[in-house]
Structure formats: structure tokens, C-alpha cells
Structure 1
Amino acid sequence: MQAMPLLSALTLAVLAAAPAAAQTVTVTPTLNTRLTWTDNVDTSARDPKQDWIVEVSPGVSVSRASGRFRGYLNASLRNLVHARETEDNETYLAFRGKGEFEAIENAVFIAASGSISRNDTSSFGRRYSGDELSASKGNETRVWSIAPRYEFRFGNAGAGRLGYESRWLQGGNNTLGDRQQHRWTLGLSDPGALRLFGWGVDYVRTDTRYEEGLGRDVMQETGRATLFVNLDPQFRVRLIGGYESNDYEVVDGEEGAIWGLGFDWYPTERTTVSATGEDRIFGTGYDVQIRHRMARSVWNLSVSRDITSSLDELAGGFVLDPVFQLFYQLTDPALPEAERISIAQAAYERAGGVGIRTNAYYLQRSARAGVTFTGARNTLSFSLRQTERERLNTFSGFLLTDDFTEFDYIKTRSASVSLSHKLSGLATLNGALTRSKSEGQGSSRREVDRSIFTVGVTRKLGSDTTGGLNYRYQKAEGTDDYTENAVTATLGMRF
């Protein structure tokens, strides 16, 4: 799996694409430092241990917002040094990048993305997933993808797409095994071909190959035909028929017809409602998306049930989560895109947005809702989420060393509230409170109730320098109790 060449390609593409418009490329070297005192640094010990942790992380943020290449990347070399628990010292590359190149105008596009991160792989860990101190090598995950596609138009309003995407996942020393996924897509549609009626067809085939000994190769094929009934410019109905097959549960595979119904409703320019329900081989599948925007608030709701995998989520699916979008809106618009996504992702993970890490596919049912209120000096967000993950009946050929080893069913619930208050033109007060609960059922049963509270102040010390002081409290109760108080001072510089 050629990870580093792809990382280099992403970097060079952002920096070198279309020299004629080089002024649109923004390159920002950064240096972020952090000093943390914690009263419970060792999550494996019963007795709390105090420690000081120093972090010095040089990095670079690159973005390009116009021309034939658009994209961003954010890379930093994280160096964490402990005063007492020196065996926990870590140095690693943290990276996230995404870009798209328009190779042939309005026809051929090539998208690429990559990420390197370290997160706790279990829903039942003592620290929450996304804790910046959970930086052990065993939790490192790398995901890379490259996706060329061809788009074309036909008739008055018809559109077609032919695409291919290759994804790589490298699990390092954690519970995830290395795998590669190949996905082919074909779509043709003309929703208004006959004014009242329109049509669409799409086909997707996904092949997943595992490192030897970790899992057998699996495949999924899905084909759908859609009849659009345009009852009104603001409302249309979708009638769906199709066929699907996969061998996730059993080696011989299973297959069956797809029958479904959906609608798209646009009552105002600020409101969109889309809902789909289908009869699938695993039962009822559905996807409901509601978004409403007002002058000073944004409301989001999504409900879905489908088969998915850790790779689908790690490859960037979380960016579409309405809860992630709420945290993204809390970030400073003046920051580079890569930094905004990185900050929003950290808050999203703290609110329970990261799923389990497993080698196998699973059936997931999720419900997520959130609202953000924006005032002259305040931004207030509320979010609720519930996710149920069910192990498919058999995992013949899969090596499981994750939460699904002992659980057939995992349920997580969380509620979060975040506030950003501008104290002045230079200083901002930030606070967040998250409550979550994880439950596992199967050969054993386990529950963890988690509370996380953070409050802090950030202040611009100069045009390119920002300092901050933050307090964090987290508590986990259940099978394995854990409590921590931490104070962190930060200093960040952009050059």
C-alpha cells in the first residue's frame, strides 16, 4: 500500500497545480505548542498519577480555492514529551488532506484524499475517543483514496457519471487490519425528462480485500432504477426498484430485490427535506435528511439504517454528519479550511462522533440532530445522537479483535452543548459539556457512562499568534471507572 507516495502527491498537487493562478494557493507554516498538567495520566493504572506533558508540533497548512485544482491539506509533526511517564513519549505525523483536479474541463475529474490519526479504537475506553493525549502508536490509522471520474451531459438536462475509487486503510498495530477497497460507480439520470416524469439508474460494485489472515475478500453489488414523479417544482416523489447482493454474512452470499419509495421537498429556499425508505435484504433501510436555515440559526436532522464499515466512516463520511457541520460552524472562518476541519473534528469526536473500529461490515442505525444559534457575540450549539451497531450473523473468515469480539450489539448515545462567546475583539470564551453512554451486549455485557466538560479562553496575542488556557474534566463510570482533571496552556503561531 503506497501511503507516502500518495501523501507526497497530494502535497505537490496543491502546491504546483496551475502555476498561472498561483496567487490562489495559500501556504501557512505553523507551530503549535501545548503544556498540559493532568492528575490521571495513566489509564491502565488503578491509582491516579499526575504528570506534565509538553507538546511541540511544527506543521504546514496548504489550501487552494480556485482554478482547476481545489483542495487543502494540514500536516503537523506531533511531539509529546512526558515529565514522569517517559515511556509514553510519542512522535508522529498527523495529516489530513483532500483535493480535486479538473483534468478535462467539465468532463474528467480526479479526487484524492488522505488522513493519519490516532484515536482510541474502543467505545469503552477510559479516555474518550479524540482525546489529544491518546496518542499511542497502537491507535494509529491511515486512510488514503484516489478517485477518477467522468461526467457528461445529454439531452436538455440529463447527466451521467462513470467513476472508480480505490481506498487503502492501514491499521498499524491496532485492532484494524490493512485492507484495500475498489468501488465502481455508474449513474444516469434525467429527473425532468418528460416534465411530469423523469428517470434515473445507478450501479455500484464494491470489492474489499484484506491482509492475509485478517479477513476474507468480500463483495457488494447494488443496482437501482428510479422513476421521478414531479408533482410540483418544490416536491417530487421517487419510486425505486433494484437488486443487490453481498457476501458479508455468509461465504456463499445472499441476494434479493430492492423496493422503495422516497420524496424530495423544498418548501423554501432555506429548507430541504429528503426521505427514502427501502425493503432490502437486511430488512428495512432508510435515509432521512432535514435541513432548515434561518437568519441566525441552522437546524439539522438525519436518520438512517444501512450496512457500513469503519473504512467508509474513516474515509470522510463524518464530514456529512449534521453534528459535525454544527461544530464546523463554530470555527473561525478566517482560519484555513484544513485547520477549521481539524478543530471541528476534535469537537465532533469529543461529542461521541467516532464510531467503533472493526475489520468487518456491520448494520448501523443512527439518528442525529443539532441546532446552532448565532448572535452578535455568541454561538450556541446543541446536538443529540444515537447509534446502534449490530454484528452481522456470521463473520466467517474474519479476525475480530475489537469490540465485536465480545459484543453482538453496541449502542451509543450522546448529548452535547457548546458555547462560544466573544469577550472582546481579541478574546473568546469557549465551553462544552457532553454526556454519553455506551452499551455492549453479547457473550458479555458492558456499560460506560461518560461526562466531559471543557472551558477555556483563547486570545490573539498578535496578528499571527494565539494563546489559550483551558480546563478539562472527564469521568467514565461503569465496568472500568476513570476520572481526570487537566489544565492546558497553548500557544499557536502562523508564519
Structure 2
Amino acid sequence: MATMAATANKRRCRGRQGGAPRASRVWLWSACLALGHAPSSHAIDWRFEPTLTTAATYTDNANQSATDPDNALILSGTPGFTLRSEGSRRVQASLHYGATAVMRFGDDESDDLYHNLNAVGKAELVEDFLFVDGTARVSQELISLLGSPADAEVNDANRATVGAYSISPYVQKRLGTWAYAQARYTKSGAMFENDVAADSNSNAFKASLSSGTRFDDLSWSLDYSIRETDYRDSADTTFERTSATLGYALSRKFRVFGTVGEDSNEYLSATDTDGSFYRVGFGWAPTRRTSFEASAGESYFGPTFGLSASHRTRDTRWDLRYSEDVSDISRMVTDYSNLQAVNASCPAGTVLPETPNLLDLINARCDLDLFFGSSLANNVFIAKQLTAGVSWDVGLRTTMSVRLSDLTREFQTTTQGEDRVQSVSGLVNYRLSPRTSANGGLSFIRNSLDSTATGGAAREDDIMSFDLGLNHRFTEQFNGALTYRHIERDSNAASADYEENRITASVTMRF
């Protein structure tokens, strides 16, 4: 591990046009641009930490087959590094990169190399006025709900490398005590391996003007947004929205609000793509640890509902969220504003803030699993998403959590139909000693696709998995883990059922 100090007049960014993923190069140059414009008197410390992870996996069904399972031994090595800023309020950045080399031995011998990148950065270029955010991601994502759900290292037949980036400068300003103004521009893009979906480039602009501190019980805001996406060899899309919101606090604990607006969208659809909308709702916060908000309304695609709630006690943390809105693939791969939609798998014993942001997850080396659904096509859909969870501390040694999610996507063309993914999972971690912990997990996922989405008969798959693991920290820089996993899929499609047993031993070294 190395720590480097830099001041603005010493910062230099060099790069080469080699084999680095395009998304990572865009983010790095964006970060360099942001840091190069930071105030000259502001010092930044950088921590660079190289890592090396090696793993050996044995599976009795590497191809997830119902009739002809293949035994396989899979060896992998992942050299990588983490680079993050420290000690700076005005510049915060973290980048974690790894290149995984895989060798498979068995009935189907093969080898592969995968790149993985998670990066996020934000900088305050002009104090309390000009800011810039940037993100980048390279990962191997699920192509279809109908294929193998295995990780790419085990079986990459249903995985594709996806790269995404965004760079977003914005300004915000308090207009005395009357109002608060913000304007943001975002440039983003997504790239897909082997043309499994159309590459896209998006330009988005948002502006808002909201009530300032002079308004006590009354609150208001005016909002405008537009997002245009150009797809390679496919129809482009435009999402434009104008709205006004008015709220009033009936008491210190209870408030009401209403929103009216207009959608002016353009995309290939079997129904109308624009029209007026409204929603009304209320918020209730009986204590500092409890909050609840609910809303209902009407949009051009039908009735809409929203719900969010959170509650904390000394040992537990509860959250609930439900939303309905129009979206598409390019937005899902580049927009991390709703981390409730991202499944973050963090190392055992990881301690995160109560409401972690993307920077917190990357610093903790959490694996971020995005859901793309039945295909990686440039589909426009109405997303109806419910997420909920609870985590609690049981004594000094045990932590437990339960999470559930339910995502329905109603595609807006007559040929794409509807899919739904429902999941529930439970995790438990027990600290055997200061250096050793045991963990277990149980999850259930139901994938449902109608006949239009499958192009044939409706499909329903139930996937159950059980994990049991042991983690040991030999030294501060050397960790080891042993994990067993059992997976079953029960499907109404012929020859789609399978069982798999997998055991993995891994070690991670930090330098």
C-alpha cells in the first residue's frame, strides 16, 4: 500500500491508447480534467493499494445442464488495484480495477480474460457553486433470464462484458433565503460485447428551482429534465419532463404535497408516449429514526404509486421502497442514483454507513450486480420495483439481514411482452474470533416471462441457492476464504431443471 500526496500545481495525467476498456479511459480523463481545475491551494492525498486474488473452484455441473452435467476445475487469478483519495472534503474519488484470468479443466477446457472496473469521483471545483461527478463500470452481466445464471468464471455462455460511463458537471446556488437553484448536464454511454445490445450515447440536462429557508411550512419546486439517447443501428429515444411541486407542513411530523407536469417523450411504442401527469401524497416522520412517504397519481401509461419508509432502532435498520416510472437499458447501466436497484454483495464483516452511496460500496470492494432482464436490447419499459430489507445485530458477534425485491418490466412494444423477477435472501455472519468468521446465506429467485417475451410458451423458473463459508484473516494483508454453494433450478420448460454443487477456495493479498 502506498500513499501519495499531490497539490494542484503538481497534478499531471498521462495515458496511452492501449488495451484499457473505453469506459475506464473516459472516466480517467474526466477525473484528470476535474482535478486539474481544482483550487491550487487544495492538497489531495492518494492511497494506492495493489491486490492479488487467486481462487480454485470445483463444480459438478459447470454447464448447468439437466441431462449432461460437466465436472470442472476452474482456476483464476485476479491482479488489481484500488486508488482512492483521502483527507479531502472537496475531492473524493475511488477506483477499483481487476483483470481476471480463468482456466477451466474438464470436459470443456477453455481459458478467458475478464476486465472489471468500478470507479466513482466527485469534485468541488468552485466552492459552493461548481461541481463535477463521474462514474465508470466494466463488468460481465447476465444476457438472458432463460439461460445459465452462473458467474462468468464458471460459465460465460450467458454473460457479456458491459462498459458504461458518465461525466456530469453541475452548478448549484442559494439565491438568498428565497430559493435554491441547480443545473446539471450529464454525458453518458454504454458499450456491449459482441453486439448483444446496441451501443448508446446519451446527453441529459436537468434544472430545478426550489424554495429556500424563508419558507417555513410551505415548500415548492419547479423542475425540468430532458434526456436524448442515440443508439447504434437502432431507433433513438427522447425523454422530456416538466413539473411543479407544492407542499405544506401541517405539523412538525406530517406534511402533504402534490405534483403536476407534462411528459414529452419519443420512442418506438405501441401506446402513447407523452401526456400530462399528477401525483399527490403525504409524508410522516414521527421521530428522527422513522420516516414514511406515500403517493398516488396518474401518468400517460396509467396509474402510478410510490412508497418509501425507513426505521432505525439501536440494533436494527429497516427500509422499504416502491416506484413506477418509464426507463430503458441505457439508463439502467449508467444511472446509480437509485442504489436500491443495485444488489451489492460485500465482503464478510463489511461495515457500511446506514445509507451507503456508490463511493462507500466501491471503497468496501462490494460487487455490484445490476439487473438487465430478459435481454440486453435497447428496450423501453415501464419499471415497477419494490425493494425492502432489514438488518440487525444479534449480540456482539452476529449480524443478520433479510432482503426482498420485486421488479416487473412492461415493455412498450407489441413484440417484447413482460418479465418479472422476484427474490428474497437471508444472510448471517458470525464472528468466531477476531480473525475468523463464518457466514451463511439462503436465497430464492423466481423469473417469470410471458409468451410474448419468450417467443413461445410462458416461462417460470425458480432458482434456490444455499451458501456456507469460512473467512480467516491470517495477517492484515493476507485473507483466505472457503465457500460451498448449492444451486437448484426448477422450471416449467423441458430440460431446464438442474442442480449444481460448487466449492471455492480463495486467498487475497494486499501489498
Partner of 1:123: 145
Note if 1:385 corresponds to 2:394. Answer: no
Instruction: Determine the C-alpha separation between the residues in 2 that align with 1:193 and 1:308.
Output: 36
Report how far residue 42 of structure 1 moved.
Answer: 2.2
Report how far residue 343 of structure 1 moved.
Answer: 2.8
Instruction: Determine the C-alpha separation between the residues in 2 that align with 1:387 and 1:132.
Output: 26
Instruction: Determine the C-alpha separation between the residues in 1 that align with 2:346 and 2:178.
Output: 34
Larger deviation, residues 78-87 vs 182-191: 78-87
8 Å CA contact retained: 2:262, 2:277: yes
8 Å CA contact retained: 2:66, 2:499: no
Among 469, 472, 478, the alignment partner of 1:459 is 472
Report how far residue 31 of structure 1 moved.
Answer: 0.4
Partner of 1:226: 245
CA spacing shift, 1:99–1:272, aligned 2, 3 Å: same
8 Å CA contact retained: 2:31, 2:134: no
Note if 1:317 corresponds to 2:317. Answer: no
Gaps of at least 5 residues in structure 1 are: 396-403
Instruction: Determine the C-alpha separation between the residues in 1 that align with 2:440 and 2:59.
Output: 19
Q: Deviations over 1:395-444 (max 9, x none)?
A: 7xxxxxxxx4xxx1112211111111101100010111111111111242
Among 288, 296, 300, the alignment partner of 1:281 is 300
Tell me the secondary structure at the aligned position of residue 305 of structure 2: strand
Instruction: Determine the C-alpha separation between the residues in 2 that align with 1:364 and 1:410.
Output: 10
8 Å CA contact retained: 2:64, 2:499: no
8 Å CA contact retained: 1:367, 1:386: yes
Among 26, 35, 48, the alignment partner of 2:47 is 26
Among 461, 467, 484, the alignment partner of 2:500 is 484
Report how far residue 135 of structure 1 moved.
Answer: 4.2
Report how far residue 393 of structure 1 moved.
Answer: 3.7
Equivalent AA in structure 1 for residue 487 of structure 2: Q
Among 165, 176, 187, the alignment partner of 1:166 is 187
Equivalent AA in structure 1 for residue 508 of structure 2: G
Tell me the secondary structure at the aligned position of residue 173 of structure 1: helix
Note if 1:104 corresponds to 2:115. Answer: no
Q: Deviations over 1:138-195 (max 9, x none)?
A: 6111111111111111131521111111110001115221011111101000065543
Instruction: Determine the C-alpha separation between the residues in 2 that align with 1:314 and 1:418.
Output: 26
Instruction: Determine the C-alpha separation between the residues in 2 that align with 1:471 and 1:233.
Output: 51
Instruction: Determine the C-alpha separation between the residues in 2 that align with 1:458 and 1:144.
Output: 34
Among 465, 476, 487, the alignment partner of 1:474 is 487
Please tell me the root mean square deviation across aligned C-alpha atoms, in Å. Answer: 2.9
Among 393, 409, 416, the alignment partner of 2:425 is 416
Larger deviation, residues 328-337 vs 81-90: 328-337
Q: Deviations over 1:365-390 (max 9, x none)?
A: 12111100113111101112211111
Partner of 2:236: 217
Report how far residue 458 of structure 1 moved.
Answer: 0.6
Tell me the secondary structure at the aligned position of residue 194 of structure 2: coil
Partner of 1:206: 227
Note if 1:450 corresponds to 2:463. Answer: yes
Instruction: Determine the C-alpha separation between the residues in 2 that align with 1:224 and 1:200.
Output: 8
Tell me the secondary structure at the aligned position of residue 106 of structure 2: coil
5 Å matches for 1:173-188? 173=194, 175-188=196-209
Q: Deviations over 1:223-245 (max 9, x none)?
A: 11111212223332112111112
Among 364, 367, 382, the alignment partner of 2:383 is 364
Q: Deviations over 1:221-275 (max 9, x none)?
A: 1111111212223332112111112123449964211121122332211122223
8 Å CA contact retained: 1:101, 1:110: yes
Partner of 1:345: 368
Tell me the secondary structure at the aligned position of residue 453 of structure 1: strand
8 Å CA contact retained: 2:147, 2:158: no
8 Å CA contact retained: 2:63, 2:155: no
What TM-score do you get using the length of structure 2 for normalisation? 0.85
Instruction: Determine the C-alpha separation between the residues in 1 that align with 2:257 and 2:118.
Output: 37
Instruction: Determine the C-alpha separation between the residues in 2 that align with 1:319 and 1:197.
Output: 27
Equivalent AA in structure 2 for residue 286 of structure 1: F
Larger deviation, residues 253-262 vs 89-98: 253-262
Equivalent AA in structure 1 for residue 100 of structure 2: R
Note if 1:245 corresponds to 2:245. Answer: no
Q: Deviations over 1:6-55 (max 9, x none)?
A: 14326757998789776642211100111101111124684111111111
Instruction: Determine the C-alpha separation between the residues in 2 that align with 1:328 and 1:138.
Output: 21
Tell me the secondary structure at the aligned position of residue 351 of structure 2: coil
5 Å matches for 1:53-92? 53-65=74-86, 66-84=88-106, 88-92=110-114
What TM-score do you get using the length of structure 1 for normalisation? 0.88
Partner of 2:117: 95
Equivalent AA in structure 2 for residue 199 of structure 1: W
8 Å CA contact retained: 1:411, 1:439: yes
8 Å CA contact retained: 2:64, 2:500: no
CA spacing shift, 1:393–1:337, aligned 2, 3 Å: closer
- Runs (4+) of structure 1 exceeding 6 A deviation are 13-21
Gaps of at least 5 residues in structure 2 are: 1-20, 354-358
Instruction: Determine the C-alpha separation between the residues in 2 that align with 1:61 and 1:144.
Output: 18
Instruction: Determine the C-alpha separation between the residues in 2 that align with 1:372 and 1:247.
Output: 42
Q: Percent identity?
A: 24
Partner of 1:37: 58
Report how far residue 112 of structure 1 moved.
Answer: 0.7
Larger deviation, residues 141-150 vs 478-487: 478-487
8 Å CA contact retained: 1:14, 1:25: no
Partner of 2:11: none
Q: Deviations over 1:333-383 (max 9, x none)?
A: 39994556543535xx7xxx6644331110111211110011311110111
8 Å CA contact retained: 1:118, 1:137: no
